[in-house]
Amino acid sequence: MGSKAGGSSLDLWSEIVGADAPQQQHQQIEVMYRRRKPQINQKDLNPRQSDVSRPRSNRVSLVDPNKRVSWNRSLSTRGRTSIAVGACMVYQPELKKEKRKGKPAIPKGKFIAAPNFEKERAYFEEVDAFELLEESPSPKKVGTWTIGNENYNGQVPHLCSRLEKWLLSRKLNLSCGPSSTLSKILDTPARGLETIYDVDLCSLRLRTSEKSGEVDPHHHTIITESSNTLLDNGLFEGNINLPTDKMSTQDDEDSVNLEAAVKKLSLASTSTLAEEHFSPFSALLEICGQSVPSKFQDVLSKYCVPETIVKVGEGTYGEAFKVGSYVWKIVPIDGNFRVNGEVQKRSEELLEETVLSKTLNYLRINDGDAHNSCGIFIETIELSVCQGSYDTSLIQAWENWDENHGSENDHPKVFPEKQCYMVFVLQHGGKDLESFALLNFDEARSLLVQVTAGLAVAESAYEFEHRDLHWGNILLSRSDSETLQFTLDGRHMLVKTYGLIISIIDFTLSRINTGDDVLFLDLSSDPDLFKGPKGDKQSETYRKMKEVTEDWWEGSFPRTNVLWLIYLVDILLTKKSFERTSKNERDLRSLKKRLDKYNSAKEAISDSFFNDLLVVHVT
């Protein structure tokens, strides 16, 4: 295999030993669900829902079968209920009712028989007894970068203050152009966090709580090397490129003065200037390099001829279309009516997701110098804000898909002329794990090693936690390459693919430290997320995350990545059928047990399960 190429390769992982656990096999009875939507056992369905003539029988609202509101769907309103409902909510619960009478029944759920129910029984009894040990929570407010937005009230998703300042400064002085760290993230491809910190030191420095001795987690300390003149003029740009060595000689007194000045400016900004010049929507436009929203047609024409567009998937918020060789994820935003039973996302939320996606793009750089790199996080090619009714080519593609798959989403004809959308132009990542047919155990373990290695790399680079890695958010495609390179803390690893390439998507719930700010969603404002069906692996994983984080979502808890790895092993064992021996199943169960001891994907990647899938190159 290509994994041995390169001469001086050492298998360092083999020294990590993990004793196999007792190998009982048990049966598990578990609800299935799709993405964040729980699937209820047939016996739990009322007759109407279980009627095979209803193509949506696998998506059952726990509240009202006609209304797509469930424990998981309420995610969409997390932290923004007050905005959406208070401002302009027009609830349309009946939107889906008139749809597609007489449509052929095409159930979407994959009901895969467990390979050996009897064998599984013993195991799952063991697994059930094997509840995760009490997590050892990370100490709060220590060791993470403090965050900005002192006005954060737990209801509005956090938008990094750095972003606000950058955007504000762009408004105030467009001729300066963006040169802050954030703009670098937005304008250029991948770079490691350590580099970002370096760059940032030339314009701004963030202090950790530890370093500054501050205890307020919402206090964002900014120290600049800028001149007071700039500050006095209100033209703070974070754009003063002093050499780092000069930065390091800055004395504390100056820092304190400047800090106070910046704080003053910041306060003035939020109360007056920002209100006049800054809105999340205009910020979104800025990020996309637009001054006004585009028309679908204009952006589409850059990528393909409209007739070739095909819908490839759908989520709670977005529709996914293959446009040329890319995938467009189209998310309606800021509208005052529900779509797919959900309050539309607001610009604020999309701001965070766009910055996060762009930051993860940095990991894709693999120029030999990268300290951390991998290609597993889906590449964001372009971001665009569009406005108008849905384009006819997209509607046609939507209807074709609906005929074949039975869409659960509202027909896009509901969108009025003034509707705005966030368009993510993404690398095509293949099929999601839910619908992908894995062939054999080698493919399954390559899936696991790629996800684990990718999370380890992103943890190391950005303190990244995905926090929603269910089987709709893992994409798979086949390829000829035998190995993939991951670089973790400067060590180059080749990972065996067995012909499978994995991509991770959907960073809505993710947490990241961009080097400027910690971006995260405060899930404590969405209690329903944690009320999913008991025993359901996905809902249990949200609950375990809550235990681990102690509901402090801002903090760094890479253990949440491990929780999703455990979930993935469960999914492979119980929801996916592929060629495997009983030894293979034992190996997976043993891995699951050992995973429980790890506090990060970085620790997990050293597990013996991955030994012969990884080769570390010492350079």
Ligand X SMILES: Nc1ncnc2c1ncn2[C@@H]1O[C@H](COP(=O)(O)OP(=O)(O)OP(=O)(O)O)[C@@H](O)[C@H]1O
Query: In the stretch 299-338, what mask flags binding to ligand X with x, by CB under 6 A?
Result: -------------xxxxxxx-x------x-x---------
Q: Which is nearer to ligand X, 315 or 515 (CB)?
A: 315
Q: Return the structure tokens found at 570.
A: 């469960």
* Least Å from the CB of residue 198 to ligand X: 31
Q: Which span (240-248, 256-264, 470-478, 586-594) binds ligand X, by CB under 6 A?
A: 470-478
Q: Which span (232-240, 343-351, 399-407, 428-436) binds ligand X, by CB under 6 A?
A: 428-436
* Least Å from the CB of residue 526 to ligand X: 13
Distance CA 474, CA 501 (A): 10
Query: In the stretch 214-253, what mask flags binding to ligand X with x, by CB under 6 A?
Result: ----------------------------------------
**Residue that has been written with the tokens 């754009």 in this structure:** 239
Distance CA 527, CA 466 (A): 19
**Interacting residue with ligand X among 406, 472, 515, 532 (CB under 6 A):** 472
Name the CA dihedral angle for 591, 593, 595, 375, rounded to a multiple of 10 degrees. 30
Q: Which is nearer to ligand X, 432 or 540 (CB)?
A: 432
Distance CA 518, CA 149 (A): 11
Q: Which is nearer to ligand X, 475 or 494 (CB)?
A: 475
Closest among 469, 422, 448 to 285, alpha carbons compared: 422
* Least Å from the CB of residue 476 to ligand X: 10
**Residue that has been written with the tokens 């491809």 in this structure:** 189
Decide if 438 contacts 499 (C-beta within 8 A): no
Give alpha helix (H) positions in 366-495: 392-405, 441-462
**Interacting residue with ligand X among 110, 428, 543, 586 (CB under 6 A):** 428
* Least Å from the CB of residue 138 to ligand X: 27
**Interacting residue with ligand X among 201, 309, 425, 475 (CB under 6 A):** 475
Decide if 388 contacts 215 (C-beta within 8 A): no
Residue 248, SS3 per DSSP: helix
Secondary structure string (H, E, C) spanning 513-535:
ECCCCEECCCHHHCHHHHCCCCC
Q: Which is nearer to ligand X, 327 or 604 (CB)?
A: 327
Q: Rule CB under 6 A: is residue 412 a binding residue for ligand X?
A: no
Q: Which span (137-145, 172-180, 257-265, 469-477) binds ligand X, by CB under 6 A?
A: 469-477
Q: Which span (170-178, 209-217, 245-253, 468-476) binds ligand X, by CB under 6 A?
A: 468-476
Query: In the stretch 507-546, what mask flags binding to ligand X with x, by CB under 6 A?
Result: -x--------------------------------------
Residues 58-117 that bind ligand X (CB under 6 A): none
Distance CA 395, CA 147 (A): 42
Give the list of residues 6+ apart from residue 578 with CB closer than 8 angstroms, or none: 437, 438, 439, 440, 441, 443, 444
Q: State yes or no: is 432 an active-site residue.
A: no
Q: Return the structure tokens found at 208.
A: 């950790």
Distance CA 33, CA 468 (A): 14
Q: Which span (177-185, 296-304, 389-397, 422-430) binds ligand X, by CB under 6 A?
A: 422-430
* Least Å from the CB of residue 60 to ligand X: 15
Q: Which is nearer to ligand X, 329 or 445 (CB)?
A: 329
Q: Which is nearer to ligand X, 323 or 494 (CB)?
A: 323
* Least Å from the CB of residue 36 to ligand X: 5
* CA angle (279, 280, 283) in 5-degree steps: 90
* Least Å from the CB of residue 425 to ligand X: 9
Q: Which is nearer to ligand X, 423 or 426 (CB)?
A: 426
HSE on the CB side for 57, CA within 13 Å? 22
**Residue that has been written with the tokens 């956090």 in this structure:** 158
**Interacting residue with ligand X among 426, 444, 518, 591 (CB under 6 A):** 426
Comparing every residue's Cβ against ligand X, the nearest one is: 315
Q: Which span (91-99, 122-130, 157-165, 500-508) binds ligand X, by CB under 6 A?
A: 500-508
Q: Which is nearer to ligand X, 258 or 327 (CB)?
A: 327
**Interacting residue with ligand X among 36, 364, 445, 594 (CB under 6 A):** 36
Give the list of residues 6+ apart from residue 131 with CB closer than 8 angstroms, or none: none
Q: Residue 543 is which amino acid? A: R
Closest among 22, 33, 133 to 595, alpha carbons compared: 133
Catalytic position from the list 402, 468, 526, 587? 468
* Least Å from the CB of residue 445 to ligand X: 23
**Interacting residue with ligand X among 190, 330, 378, 451 (CB under 6 A):** 378
Q: Rule CB under 6 A: is residue 473 a binding residue for ligand X?
A: yes
* Least Å from the CB of residue 319 to ligand X: 8
Q: Exposed (0-12), middle (13-18) or buried (19+): which is 129, by Cβ within 10 Å?
A: exposed
Distance CA 298, CA 203 (A): 37
CA distances to 55, 67, 104, 333, 429 from 394, rounded to whole Å, are: 22, 25, 22, 17, 20
Q: b/e per residue, 244-276, with b = 16+ CB within 10 A?
A: eeebeebeeeebeebbebbeebbeebbeeebee
**Secondary structure E strands in 347-398:** 380-387
DSSP string, 555-610: S--THHHHHHHHHHHHHHHHT---B--HHHHHHHHHHHHHHTT-SSHHHHTTSGGG
Number of chain residues interacting with ligand X (CB under 6 A): 24
Q: Which is nearer to ligand X, 23 or 477 (CB)?
A: 477
* Least Å from the CB of residue 348 to ligand X: 16
Q: Which is nearer to ligand X, 169 or 427 (CB)?
A: 427
Q: By the criterion CB under 6 A, which residues form the site for ligand X?
A: 35-36, 312-318, 320, 327, 329, 378, 426-429, 432, 472-473, 475, 505-506, 508
Catalytic residues: 468
